Amino acid sequence: MTTQFTIDLAHPGRAQRSPWEWFLGPAGPRHLAIVATAGVALVALVALGGLLPRYIRYSSEIQSIAKLRGEVTTADSELSTLRTNLRALGAEARRQARWSELLPALSKWLPGTLRIDRVALGKAARPPQGQAQSPQAAAQSSDLTLQIEVSTTMEPASSRLVEIANFMAALARDPAVAPRFQLKTWEVRPARGQGGDGQLEISIALAEKRS
């Protein structure tokens, strides 16, 4: 029996080398550094490949949330503006409704000897700052007041004062006025200024009833 051998003359002695000599030989540290670097690079690539899609998806979700918050803030601002406008429209509608009911009542009960000079519907004037005010006075200052200014000519043996009293009583009992207002104060005084001889000014204030 004949056995054949193959001799590698270009790399003599390779068959006698241990497989661990590549790591443990003179060039072992350099080989280990190369393997370690390749391993770290491989791990980094695997980690990057797994984390990059998640990071992109997370960034997209963060941007969507920020955009949604901006839209919610804008919608909330628009809703607040809409509520303010609706309250203003409601107040204006109520004011128009009051005027549409009050003016016919004034014309209905006003005698021919009286002349309306001014009609105002609003809140009472607040006291100057720094001036003490009781809780009752503060509540009254926030009430709505119907202020009526009328004038008439005073003639001898006339019944002007009776007509004024009847006008105030009839106005306070009118169905359009009585449910909302009650007589608060009234004042009769001589007209001020030039040409006021024989003239009387009547100031009537009706306060809004509290529910």
| pLDDT above 60 for 156 | yes
For residue 167, which of 155, 151, 144, 191 has the smallest C-alpha distance? 151
Would you state the structure tokens that stand for residue 85, as one six-digit string?
């406008």
Confidence of residue 60 (pLDDT cuts 50, 70, 90): confident
Q: What are phi and psi of 183, to 5 degrees?
A: -65, 125
Would you state the structure tokens that stand for residue 9, as one six-digit string?
């003359």
Angle between helices 160-173 and 28-109 (to 10 degrees): 140
Would you state the structure tokens that stand for residue 56, as one six-digit string?
């992109």
Residue 9: per-residue pLDDT: 58
Residue 4: per-residue pLDDT: 60
The larger pLDDT score, comparing residue 29 to residue 72, is at 72
| Percent of the chain residues topping a pLDDT of 90 | 0
Cα separation, 205 vs 171, whole angstroms:
11
Question: H/E element holding 53?
Answer: helix 28-109
Residue 101: per-residue pLDDT: 74
How many CA atoms within 13 Å lie on the side-chain side of 146?
Answer: 22
pTM beyond 0.75, yes or no? no
State whether residue 73 is helix, strand or coil.
helix
pLDDT tens digits, one per residue of 117-151: 888 877 765 555 555 545 554 445 556 788 889 88
Residue 138: per-residue pLDDT: 46
- Return mean pLDDT, the chain: 75
